[in-house]
Amino acid sequence: GENVEQHPSTLSVQEGDSAVIKCTYSDSASNYFPWYKQELGKGPQLIIDIRSNVGEKKDQRIAVTLNKTAKHFSLHITETQPEDSAVYFCAANDYKLSFGAGTTVTVRA
């Protein structure tokens, strides 16, 4: 099955700085890579996703890059704001989502 590793486990950034979270996956058949944001007491919320035929995707302050050869993908958040503080999960999909362990992001005001 798919194995997804996520780093770092915690990330503290100053408001306005950038945050980067990296994930690696094991199954070369995976072709869909979503990122979810989970706030305390809530279910995961999809923030951006990328498919294997695309190398990079951007949505306002959020971007994701994918390197299929190296089997890694990354989330980039620019101009961080306090409301970006949450736990972020990467995932990879063969026919089911396999999640990383999560990154707790804290944005310091």
- Does residue 100 belong to the site contacting other proteins (CB under 8 A)? yes
| 3 state DSSP class of 29 | coil
Q: β-strand 86-93 against 103-108: which pairing, if any?
A: antiparallel
Q: How far is the CB of 7 from other proteins (least distance, A)?
A: 13
**What is the C-alpha to C-alpha distance for residues 51 and 13, in angstroms, rounded to an integer?**
28
Give the torsion sign (CA, 44, 62, 52, 25): negative
Q: Interface residues for other proteins in 17-36 (CB under 8 A)?
A: 32, 34, 36
Is the Cβ of residue 27 or residue 78 nearer to other proteins in the bound state? 27
Q: For residue 21, what are the contacts with CB-CB under 8 A and spacing of at least 6? A: 6, 7, 8, 11, 74, 75, 88, 90, 103, 105
Stretch that binds other proteins, among 11-19, 38-46, 59-67, 69-77 (CB under 8 A): 38-46
- Does residue 101 belong to the site contacting other proteins (CB under 8 A)? yes
Q: Which of 25, 35, 73, 89 binds other proteins (CB under 8 A)?
A: 89
Q: How far is the CB of 76 from other proteins (least distance, A)?
A: 20
- Does residue 98 belong to the site contacting other proteins (CB under 8 A)? yes
